[in-house]
Homo-oligomer: A and B are copies of this chain.
Amino acid sequence: MRRGREIHLARRPVGLPTPDDFRIVEVDVPDPGPGEVLVRNTLMSVDPYMRGRMDDRPSYMPPFELDQPLDGGAIGRVEASGDPAFSPGQLVSHGVGWRDWSIVPARHVREIDPDAAPPGAYLGVLGAPGWTAYVGLLDIAALRDGDVVFVSGAAGAVGSLVCQIAKLRGHTVIASAGSPAKVAHLRDELGVDAAFDYHDGPVAELLAAAAPDGIDVYFDNVGGEHLEAAIGAMRLHGRVAICGSISTYNAVDPPPGPRNLDLVFARRLTLRGFMIRDHRDRFEDFRRDVTQWLREGRIRYRETVVDGLERAPEALIGLLQGENLGKMLVRIEEGA
């Protein structure tokens, strides 16, 4: 019998997770049953939203269970298949990661084309983060000609694509991130018009300096102080696409909301939360457009790769502290 490893939730974190909140567990890996596919994973996605699932409270996804494996996006090769649609050797993506072998219902497995883009791209710019950027900017924020766009968490997997889509459509883009290296990447490689490190002062002041005439769209990945600053900088009929609030995920008490919500009325703003699960009808458009932009060299992406399944908790903790540039991935050595 094959033996595999899984990352389990050992206890629920209080605040920022620590390595002791996770446990690596050896398990037997059975053959796939009818309608199932056995995948040998090679790459695994690490995402901010996972932090919320580590708490035991009702939310948009069920909490992870104690002493059970975490899950998340992954890429791997089909090892064996109980479904005629898949056969050994195929490269696929699925949502049952955080383990080196996955048994996945065939309907949740999607073949990927390694000739169109490297496998990691299917967890980032061509995967959920890219789809999120595309839908959030174009549909939720309803990007219009002439909009000045502000993006927080701009050097992350989602933010960096938001910046680039806005740039290739001719918009002025203001970006915030959490380190000088990220700011340099945003300015020099992604070509945003202005970028700042939010550690350098009150966000409202940094934003006012970067966008003296205000903003029309705010793509919010971080919440908290950034959201208040963005509302304060909004011009009439501005729109906020709320994609996440990583600045608050480790908060033990609920953080206070923005003190300037009166501007939502005065400036007739729209704040809208969204998830791509509600926008499946846009997946094909997203995939087509971003694949083409990649092929034309009009967008770039970065990955921060941590080697070894056993280091996945470290990767997640690092992600929540902003240690990634671009998409955070865990690489699992074949044959490990």
Contacts and interface: CB of A to CB of B under 8 A. Distances in A.
B273 A272 contact: no
A265 B278 contact: no
Contacts of A255: 259
Given A257-B257, A258-B257, A275 B268 contact: yes
B268 A264 contact: no
B268 A278 contact: yes
Interface in A222-265: 223, 227-228, 237, 242-245, 248, 254-265
A217 to B, nearest CB: 15
Nearest to A228: B257
A268 B223 CA distance: 15
A283 interface: no
Contacts of A60: 266-267
Interface size grouping (class) on chain A = 20 to 34
A262 B227 CA distance: 11
Contacts of A165: none
Nearest to A261: B257
A126 interface: no
A254 B265 contact: no
Given A223-B262, A262-B248, A270 B267 contact: no
Contacts of A121: none
A263 B52 CA distance: 12
Contact of A245 (B59, B259, B265, B272): B265
A227 B257 CA distance: 11
Interface string A6-34: 00000000000000000000000000000
A112 interface: no
Contacts of A244: 265
Contact of A270 (B245, B254, B271): B271
A82 to B, nearest CB: 34
A269 to B, nearest CB: 5
Contact of A256 (B223, B237, B259): B259
